[in-house]
Amino acid sequence: MKHDCFDIVVIGAGVIGYSIAFRLKQDRPELSIAILGDPVNSLMASRAAAGMLAPFGECAIADVFFDFCRESLLKYPCFIENLMGVSEMPVYLSMVGSLMPSSSFEGDWEERLRFFREENIPHELWTSKQCRQLAPAISETCGEVVWVGEGQVNNREMHDALVVASRKIGIEALENNVTGFLYDSSSIEAVVTEIREIRGQKFILASGSWSSKLGDILNVSLPMKPIKGQMCRLKMADHKFDYTVHGLKNYIAPWGGGKGFVLGSTMEDRGFDPKVEESVIQDLINRAAQIMPCLREALLVESWSGLRPAAEDLMPIMGKSSRYNNLFYSTGHYRNGILQTPNQADYIVETILETLTTEIKEFSPQRYNL
Ligand SMILES: Cc1cc2nc3c(=O)[nH]c(=O)nc-3n(C[C@H](O)[C@H](O)[C@H](O)COP(=O)(O)OP(=O)(O)OC[C@H]3O[C@@H](n4cnc5c(N)ncnc54)[C@H](O)[C@@H]3O)c2cc1C
C-alpha cells in the first residue's frame, strides 16, 4: 500500500516541480515527497522549450532578475553533473556560448555591447571575416557577430533525467492531475485527484501555465496567462555546431547528440490553444536559414507548440504563500524557466527549510496577496 500522506506534495511535473523535489530529497532523504501531474503533458513548457541558457541575450538591464538568471547559469555544470550521476542518463549541456549577429539587432547594437562591457559579461566581437573562420555555418550577410559566454541544454533530456533520478532516490511520482483541495482558511490538508486524496504537511504549487486554474480552486487569484510558442526541430546529417544563435525574433538552438537544431519561436496570447501552423513553422525555417543557410536543406523532424507561464509583471512567483501557512509557489518562470531551474530549486528548498538568507521581494507571492 502506497503512502497517502507525505511531508511534501509537489503539484506539477515539469522541470520546476521535479528540480525542487529532487534537490529537497537529496538534502533531506528522510522526507517523504510526492509529485503530481502529467510529466508528458503535450503543452508543457519544460518539454517544449529550446533549452537556451541565455541571461545575456534575454536581459537588457542589470536588475534582480538578471542577477538571479546569471547565478543560475553558473550553477548549471554542477547541476547537470549531479543529475547525470544519479539518473545514469546523458544530458546534453554546452557552455561554448551563443552568437548574436549584428544584423539581428534593430538599432540597439551599440547599447547591447555597452551593457556587456559594463556588466563584465564574457563576450568577444568577431568581424565578419573572423566569423567565417570561427563559425563558417553563419551567413556572410550577418555582418559582425558577438560571441557571448552563455549555455545550452537539451531540456527534454534534462526533464527525462530529473524524472528518472527522482524515482531512484525515492520520490513518488503519482502522475494524476489535482482536481481539488481540502483546506480551511489558513492551511491546506490534502489535494484531491480523480483516484484519491493525498494528504501533506507542505504543498508546492509548480504547475506552470495551469497554476492559475489551481489557484482559482484555492480562492487565490494568480495573475498569470499562457504565452504560446510554436517550434520545430531540424536534423542535419553532420552536426558540428554547438553555438546557440540569437536571430531577429528567432533563434537556433542545438540539442546535441545528433538531434539537430530547435528553431523558435512565436509569442502568442491565445490561451490554451495547441494548434501548430505550417505557415508559421515555414517562417521559422526561412528566418533561421537566413542566418545558417545549411538549414534550408535540413530535414524537418517535428514541430510543436508549448505554453510559457507568464505572470502579469513577467517575473517569477516564488516563495511562501501569505494566505496558507503550508503552501509555497514556484511558477511564472515565463521565457527563462529552464535557465532558472537550478537556482529556483535552491531558492525554494531554502525557503521551505527556513535557511534562506535573503528573500527576493520582486518575486514574492505577497506582491499579489497570494
Ligand atoms: C516554446 C517555448 C520555448 C522556451 N524556450 C526556453 C529557453 O530556451 N530557455 C529557457 O530557459 N526557458 C524557455 N522556455 C520557458 C520554460 O520552458 C518554462 O519557463 C519552464 O519550463 C516552466 O516549467 P514548469 O515546470 O513551471 O511548467 P511546465 O513545464 O509547463 O509544467 C507544468 C506541469 O504542471 C502539470 N499540471 C497541469 N495541471 C495540473 C494539475 N491540475 N495537477 C497537477 N499537475 C498539473 C503539467 O502536466 C506539467 O507537468 C520556453 C518555453 C516555451 C513554451
Question: What tens digit of pLDDT does each residue of 275-309 get?
Answer: 999 999 999 999 999 999 999 999 999 999 999 99
The closest residue, in CA terms, to atom 35 on ligand 1 is 12
* Ligand 1 in reach of 162 Cβ (< 6 A): no
Helices (H), the chain: 15-27, 45-48, 55-58, 64-87, 109-118, 128-134, 155-168, 211-217, 278-291, 337-352
Residue 161 resides in a domain:
yes
Residue 66 resides in a domain:
no
Number of domains in the chain: 2
Q: Is residue 1 very low, low, confident or very high in pLDDT (cuts 50, 70, 90)? A: very low
C-alpha grid cell for residue 192? 484531491
The closest residue, in CA terms, to atom 49 on ligand 1 is 13
* pLDDT score recorded for residue 106: 73
Same domain membership, residue 330 and residue 215: yes
Average pLDDT of the segment spanning 2-21: 93
* pLDDT score recorded for residue 248: 79
Contact 316, 332 (CB under 8 A): yes
* pLDDT score recorded for residue 3: 59
pLDDT at 208 over 90: yes
* Ligand 1 in reach of 171 Cβ (< 6 A): no
* pLDDT score recorded for residue 105: 79
Same domain membership, residue 359 and residue 321: yes
CATH of the domain at 317: 3.50.50.60
Residue 86 resides in a domain:
no
Task: Locate the ligand 1 atom nearest the alpha carbon of residue 214 and give its number.
Answer: 41
Q: Which of 10, 19, 41, 52 to mutate to test the pocket of ligand 1 (most atoms within 8 A of CB)?
A: 41
Same domain membership, residue 238 and residue 108: yes
DSSP annotation of 121 reads -
pLDDT at 27 over 70: yes
Average pLDDT of the segment spanning 256-261: 92
Higher pLDDT: 239 or 211? It is 211
Residue 193 resides in a domain:
yes
Beta-sheet pairing, 251-254 with 93-94: unpaired
pLDDT at 237 over 80: no
Residue 348 resides in a domain:
yes
pLDDT at 39 over 70: yes
Q: Which of 15, 53, 93 to mutate to test the pocket of ligand 1 (most atoms within 8 A of CB)?
A: 15
Q: How would DSSP label each residue in 26-54?
A: HH-TTS-EEEES-TT-TT-HHHHS--EE-
* Ligand 1 in reach of 336 Cβ (< 6 A): yes
Residue 84 resides in a domain:
no
Domain of 354 in residue numbering reads as 5-47+157-222+313-368
